[in-house]
């Protein structure tokens, strides 16, 4: 009898244990805030059953928890969950939905999935299998989504896409803030639009304003021309207006050129961009770069402008050219002879300077045709080559594009060439030739020959070799005036090889030519502004001390002294009149 009693107690205990349902096996995201402590429930916080074709409870199914089947609808604080089947964990205020699940939220967003879990106490849920979240701004698709109705956030880390009707975003991880419509992308993000592709590692995008913020290496690529792209590591991008604001390690790639700077702006629709700070415009095809404090680019015009102490470097194989001015402009335009080719131009405005090892110059403005190798100098140009100086109203320098050397110069208007007779001494002796027009020819990177047309004049120091001592001896100075002069520049001499059309030429001993006539009235030898190294172009003028030259007038002074003595003797011979 006692044995039967114990058996009845044992069987009833087992039956009671089977009647009591087991708690749900939760996703870690849905763990109770205080582990193993039951939630405090209130009637208004409970999940409510609206409809089900059947309500069942089976000890062998779902750990004995109640489940609903057939057109199931449950509600929690205004949100409606529908599914083929829903398990109710009543004591935990927790539901699990299976098959064609759909959650309609009070903010208008809808989540559909293969299955869902939802905690009515924390208002957190997990959706799995072909998850789709839609709202008026976009559609999010992923495999597993976590959502929080209190903070109004949705999150996934299994990879997914977000589409707003115009753009499709691909990412490994994203958080969507439903109130602000902000999406925080993390890890290999890609935004695919009809015109551009945005790729980065950490992007935040506001779906209301269509403004994206970049917090890591990011590239915006032109779909039609992938070579045109923007790179930055911190910036903002307006998707609607295609405007980029770039703030860290940024580059704009356009038309095979690269613009960099500390802070940059670029409008992909207009093709206008600007940069401030340490700005560089690099043109690898032209082997030229420009640096400055502020720059602008015009993609559609294929032009750029640089200010704030700008300078440009044209990289040549043997001897690069350096330019500087207050403003530098570069541009390209189609070749008039071949529309498939472009010619490149560089212009330096106001206080233009350039440096090349065998030629240096300054002018108010300089224009350089890089393709054809023609350099124009406007307004008070001055060009130095060795110890020779050329000035005029305008100077044109012609470069051999193959050898990269200067072949010739053309001086238009008030042409004036000066060369130091002996560059190793401080003697005040200069060979000079001038006229209306002048063509100067180079040989071995040095000025070798000049042809002067129109009112041509020259002042040339003449030496001859002493047959006994084999030393050079000064003969005198030759003054020439012709319609056309041909001159040959030698190491320490200027030889007039031709003087035609109304030619007059006279050689005066040093004792017979007064010092004031040894230079033309407009003699302008300049050592203060002379560019002697490329760094000199970085300032308006290097302001070197003016070289002080020593005039040798001893022979002329002795001759004048002898003349004065003879005049005195003649004066002494004249009879003296005594006034009575």
Report the pLDDT value the prediction gives residue 41, as an integer from 0 to 100. 53
Q: b/e string for 503-523 if b means 16 or more Cβ within 10 A? A: eeeeebebbebeeeebbbeee
> Do 476 and 459 contact (CB within 8 A), yes or no?
no
Which residues make Cβ contacts (< 8 Å) with residue 336, sequence separation at least 6? none
The residue extents of the domains of the chain are 26-31+44-158
Return the HEC string of 364-431: EEEEEECCCCEEEEECCCEEEECCEEEECCEEEEEECCCCCCEEEEEEEEEEEEEEECCCCCCECCEE
Which burial class, exposed, middle or buried, applies to 318 when counting CB atoms under 10 A from its CB (0-12, 13-18, 19+)?
A: exposed
Two tokens at 197?
């592709």
Query: In the beta sheet, which residues pair with residue 220?
Result: 198, 230
pLDDT at res. 86: 92
490 Cβ contact list (under 8 Å, min separation 6): none
Q: Are 35 and 82 in contact (CB under 8 A)?
A: no
Please tell me the distance from the alpha carbon of residue 220 to that of residue 200, in angstroms, as a whole number: 9
- pTM (two decimals): 0.81
Are the beta carbons of 323 and 354 closer than 8 angstroms? yes
Q: Tokens 């080559």 map to which residue?
A: 385
In eight-state DSSP terms, residue 44 is G
| pLDDT given for residue 374 in this prediction | 93
Rounded to whole angstroms, the Cα distance separating 298 from 271 reads: 6
Q: Which of 429, 442, 450, 408 is nearest to 525 (CA)?
A: 429
Cβ neighbors of 234 (< 8 A, separation 6 or more) are 214, 215, 246, 247, 248, 249
Using one digit for the tens of pLDDT, what is the confidence trace for 214-268? 999 999 998 888 889 999 999 999 988 999 999 999 999 999 999 999 999 999 9
Specify the residue for token string 């405090």.
40
Determine the Cα–Cα distance for residues 307 and 363; give it in Å rounded to an integer: 17
Fold of 26-31+44-158: lipopolysaccharide transport protein A fold (2.60.450)
Nearest to 409 by CA among 462, 345, 477, 363: 363
Smallest CA-to-CA distance from 47 within 27, 28, 63, 24 is with: 24
Per-residue pLDDT of the chain (580 residues; tens, 9 = 90+): 333 333 333 333 333 344 556 676 777 787 765 444 455 555 557 888 888 888 888 887 888 888 889 999 988 888 899 999 999 888 888 889 999 999 998 888 899 999 999 988 888 999 999 999 998 878 999 999 999 988 889 999 999 999 988 889 999 999 999 888 899 998 889 999 888 999 999 999 998 898 999 999 999 998 888 889 999 999 999 988 999 999 999 999 999 999 999 999 999 999 999 999 999 999 999 899 999 999 999 999 999 999 999 999 998 887 899 999 999 999 998 888 777 788 899 999 999 999 998 899 999 999 999 988 899 999 999 999 888 899 999 999 998 877 778 889 999 999 999 988 888 888 899 999 999 999 998 887 788 888 999 999 999 998 887 777 777 788 889 999 988 988 887 766 677 777 878 788 889 998 888 888 999 999 999 999 999 999 999 998 899 998 888 888 888 878 787 777 777 777 777 776 667 6
- b or e along 332-370 (b: 16 or more beta carbons within 10 Å of the residue's beta carbon)? beeeeeeeeebbbbbbbbebbbbbbeebbbbbebbbbeb
Element holding 521 (H helix, E strand):
none
For 411, the token pair is 């001086």
- What's the token pair of residue 482? 């012709």
Dihedral, 422, 424, 425, 429 alpha carbons, nearest 10: 20
């Amino acid at each position: 009898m006692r044995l039967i009693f114990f058996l009845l107690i044992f069987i009833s205990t087992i039956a009671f244990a089977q009647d009591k349902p087991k708690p749900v096996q939760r996703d870690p995201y849905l763990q109770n805030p205080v582990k193993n402590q039951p939630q405090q429930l209130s009637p208004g916080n409970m999940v409510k059953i609206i409809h089900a074709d059947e309500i069942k409870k089976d000890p062998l199914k779902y750990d004995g928890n109640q489940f609903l089947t057939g057109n199931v609808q449950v509600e929690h604080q205004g949100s409606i969950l529908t599914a083929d089947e829903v398990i109710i964990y009543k004591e935990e205020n927790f539901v699990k939905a299976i098959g064609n699940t759909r959650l309609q939220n009070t903010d208008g967003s809808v989540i559909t999935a293969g299955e869902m879990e939802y905690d009515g106490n924390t208002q957190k849920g997990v959706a799995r299998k072909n998850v789709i979240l839609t709202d008026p701004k976009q559609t999010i698709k992923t495999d597993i989504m976590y959502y929080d109705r209190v903070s109004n956030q949705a999150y996934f880390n299994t990879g997914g896409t977000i589409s707003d009707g115009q753009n499709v975003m691909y990412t490994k991880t994203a958080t969507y803030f439903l109130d602000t419509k902000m999406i925080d992308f993390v890890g290999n993000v890609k935004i695919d639009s009809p015109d551009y592709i945005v790729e980065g590692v950490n992007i935040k995008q506001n779906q209301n304003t269509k403004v994206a913020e970049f917090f890591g290496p990011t590239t915006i690529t032109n779909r039609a021309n992938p070579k045109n792209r923007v790179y930055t590591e911190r910036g903002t991008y307006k998707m609607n207006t295609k405007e980029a604001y770039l703030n860290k390690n940024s580059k704009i790639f356009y038309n095979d050129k690269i613009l960099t700077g500390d802070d940059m702006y670029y409008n992909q629709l207009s093709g206008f961009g600007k940069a401030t700070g340490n700005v560089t415009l690099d043109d690898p095809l032209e082997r030229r770069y420009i640096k400055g404090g502020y720059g602008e680019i015009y993609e559609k015009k294929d032009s750029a402008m640089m200010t704030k102490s700008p300078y440009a470097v044209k990289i040549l194989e043997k001897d690069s050219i350096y330019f500087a001015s207050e403003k530098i402009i570069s541009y390209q335009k189609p070749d008039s002879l071949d529309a498939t080719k472009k010619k490149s131009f560089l212009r330096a405005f106001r206080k233009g300077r350039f440096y090349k090892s065998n030629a240096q110059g300054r002018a108010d403005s300089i224009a350089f045709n890089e393709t054809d190798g023609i350099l124009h100098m406007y307004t008070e140009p001055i060009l130095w080559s060795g110890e020779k100086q050329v000035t005029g109203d305008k100077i044109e320098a012609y470069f051999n594009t193959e050898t990269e050397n200067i072949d010739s110069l053309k001086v238009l208007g008030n042409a004036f060439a000066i060369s130091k007779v002996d560059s190793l001494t401080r003697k005040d002796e200069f060979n000079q030739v001038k006229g209306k027009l002048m063509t100067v020819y180079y040989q071995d990177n040095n000025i070798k020959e000049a042809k002067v047309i129109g009112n041509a004049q020259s002042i040339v120091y003449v030496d001859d070799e002493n047959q006994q001592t084999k030393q050079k001896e000064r003969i005198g100075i030759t003054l020439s005036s012709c319609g056309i002069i041909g001159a040959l520049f030698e190491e320490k001499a200027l030889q007039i090889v031709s003087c035609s059309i109304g030619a007059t030429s006279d050689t005066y001993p040093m004792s017979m030519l007064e010092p004031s006539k040894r230079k033309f009235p407009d003699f302008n030898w300049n050592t203060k502004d002379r560019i002697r190294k490329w760094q000199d172009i970085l300032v308006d003028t290097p302001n070197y001390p003016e070289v002080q030259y020593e005039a040798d007038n001893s022979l002329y002074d002795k001759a004048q002294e002898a003349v004065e003595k003879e005049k005195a003797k003649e004066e002494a011979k004249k009879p003296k009149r005594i006034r009575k």
